[in-house]
Structure 1
Amino acid sequence: MTPEKLFEEKQHLVFAAIKQQFNSHANAEQIAKKNYMDFDDLVQIGRIKLWELCLNYDPEKESTFNAYVMMTLKWKIRNEVHTKGMTIKIPRSVDYEERNTLCFHSIDLHTEDDTENDFFAVSPINVEEEALLSVEFEEVTSVLGEKEKSIILHVGEGYTTREIARKFEMGESTVKKKKNAAFLKINPNYKPLNLRSFFLGKRSFKGNRQQPLAI
């Protein structure tokens, strides 16, 4: 399939991503206006990114392409709104090169009320890489039940067996059994060594902690 044909077939994902990111197209239009943009600007941003993804389309990853596109478009549109829409003051101690690598996120992005936006600067990220890792995680854990997936996710984020047991209100031995059973489902050849290595790698972006940025 040509990039042009694929692009035409996936146009609906742009609107789906906008709706999912902002809860509705009406909300998206309101937020765009508050940030000195139009709804059409959001669509154009999405289409440009979609075209880039279509140019790099891998037929072998067809089953995960839609999910990959959705996540990438949501991040791209959100970041463009934050970058273009708000004036943010950065301390003079931050040099020019470091300033250009910062990525900004608002905790009030989804709110409809006229509340003051709080912004945070986080480490530079590769949006496409994060989206792909997230899709890969969902693929790998698709054989698990929701409780098993939650436990594995917590393992990957660095929680200890004791902490997981407290959070899910179960004994530590039960957590260990469920954890080992989950890993065996994922990999029948699994042996209980370095349990977190794979998921720490796949979910490492969860470890990024947002640092407040003065406004």
Structure 2
Amino acid sequence: MTPEELFEEKQYLVMAAIKQRFGSITRATQIAEMNNMELDDVIQVGRMHLWECCVKYDAERVKTFNAYVMKGMKWVMSDEIHMKGMPFKISRKVSHEERNQINFHSIDLHRDEESVNEFYAVSPINVEEEALLSVEFEEATNVLEEREKLIILHVGEGYTEREIAVKLGMGRSTVNKKKNEAFLKINPNYKPLNLRTFFLGKRRKMRNRQLGLTV
């Protein structure tokens, strides 16, 4: 399959990424307008990222291609919006490569499940590294059942066992059991210690990409 054919086949990922990142097309339009952009600009950014991924397509990663594209696409969309809506300007002396190493995360105030205000904080996260880490997580968790994967994802987001139990409608002891079983599937040498520090450590040490070596 040529890059052009793959690009046409995967066009739907652009709108899917927008909906995942912003909640809805309507909300994405509002956020874009708040940051001196239009929805079409966001879509174009997504398409450009998709094209780059199609050109670099690795047939050996066919099962994780969509996850890789979606993760990176959401980051570059956020970067573009935050850059256009920045309350300060970056010096022209800063190289293109250095600027690309700066990623912006929105710190949102939520009320009744809607974002009321959005503020932006600078974080030195490399978009490609973050996307690769996400893909490797997908690969490592392929051995898990959907419920086990949900539990692991919630643990990684910082939820307690009690909170996970409420969200998934399970007993806390069941969550604990399935969580430990899931980590044992990923890493037979796993010992149930502090899992939250495991995920935090993964983000701090993105170059060490062997999921489940330590907790």
TM-score grouping bracket, smaller chain normalisation: 0.5 to 0.7
Question: Is the counterpart of residue 117 in structure 1 residue 121 in structure 2?
Answer: no
Preserved contact between residue 18 and residue 24 of structure 2 (Cα < 8 Å): yes
Specify whether residues 152 and 107 from structure 1 end up closer, same or farther in structure 2 by C-alpha distance, changes over 3 A only.
closer
Q: What aligned pairs does 1:42-191 form with structure 2 within 5 A after superposition?
A: 42-88=42-88, 100=99, 101-108=101-108, 115-123=116-124, 125-145=125-145, 146=147, 150=151, 154=155, 181-187=181-187, 190-191=188-189
In structure 2, give the amino acid aligned to 1:122. S
Matched-pair contact (CA < 8 Å) for 1:32–1:38: yes
The residue aligned with 1:6 is: 6
Structure 2 residues not aligned, in runs of 5+:
166-170, 207-215
Question: Structure 1 CA distance, aligned partners of 2:115 and 2:141?
Answer: 39
Query: 1:135 corresponds to which letter in structure 2?
Result: V
Structure 1 or 2: larger strand share? 2
Q: 1:151–1:40: structure 2 CA closer, same or farther, 3 Å change rule?
A: closer
**Cα 1:56/1:203, change in 2 over 3 Å:** farther
Question: What is the deviation of 1:2?
Answer: 0.9
Alignment CA distance shift 1:71-1:109 (3 Å): farther
Q: Secondary structure at the match of 1:87?
A: coil
Report the Cα distance in structure 2 between the residues aligned to 1:110 and 1:8, rounded to whole angstroms.
37
Structure 2 equivalent of residue 212 of structure 1 = none
Q: Whose relative contact order is higher, 1 or 2, with alpha carbons under 8 Å and at least 6 apart?
A: 1
Give distance in 1, aligned partners of 2:11 and 2:25: 15
Q: How many residues align?
A: 192
- The change in CA–CA distance for 1:149 and 1:121 in structure 2 (over 3 A counts) is same
The question of whether the paired residues in 2 share the 8 Å contact of 1:158 and 1:200 is answered with no
Give 1:25's aligned residue: 25
- C-alpha RMSD of the superposition: 4.3
Greater CA radius of gyration, 1 or 2? 1
Q: Which amino acid aligns with 1:150?
A: I
